[in-house]
Amino acid sequence: MKILVFSDSHAHYKEMRDAIARHAATTDAVFFLGDGYRDFVRVRDEFSTIAFYGVLGNCDFGVMGEPMVYERIVSLDGFRFLLMHGHRFHVKSGLETAIAYAKAKEANVLLYGHTHLPADDVDGDVRIFNPGSVGEYANGRRSYGILQTVKGVLVCSHADLSGDKM
């Protein structure tokens, strides 16, 4: 299974669409972690063969006809993913609260955005992953995440908008 993970598009719809198009033939799902939910809805409508799951961020005000969801659990291929933007858990000041929440929700993968910085770490049984920002970047590169399950193992990586692994 292959999952693309995006966050913080901030009206950079084209960049997200182009990244998804590059991987569309081999992608099973797309996760969006907030701040650009309108971009997410627009791109979701273009790729009907891929499953899309998204949450709102602190810069999102909802989209008519869409649920107001700030976090969600998605179970796929034996993994329990917690999707959040992270602003409600103050992830810019540290991940402790978000990690504790993920453990309480029995998630084994915590996916968050908000910082615009790619990250990949482990805390006990919880994998912690931030795809960075596909829109406004903080590290000089726009990025997204690629999650793949291979024989029950989750392999996480980051890619820039050219598709090159980071």
**115-148 pLDDT per residue, tens:** 999 999 999 999 999 999 999 777 778 999 999 9
Residue 71: predicted pLDDT: 97
User: Does any domain span residue 137?
Assistant: yes
Residues in the chain with pLDDT values less than 70: 163
Strand ordering across the sheet containing 29-32:
51-54, 29-32, 2-6, 143-150, 153-160
For 81, 109, 115, the CA distances from 153, given in Å and listed in that order, are 14, 12, 26
Q: Is 166 contained in some domain?
A: no
What DSSP line would sit under 26-55, residue for residue? Answer: G--EEEE-SS-HHHHHHHHTT-TTSEEEE-
Q: What is the CATH number of the domain that holds 119?
A: 3.60.21.10
Count the domains in the chain: 1
CA distance 153 to 138: 30
Those residues whose C-beta lies under 8 Å from the C-beta of residue 22, and which sit 6 or more positions away, are: 163
Q: For 131, phi and psi rounded to 5 degrees?
A: -75, -5
State pTM to two decimals.
0.95
DSSP label at residue 142: -
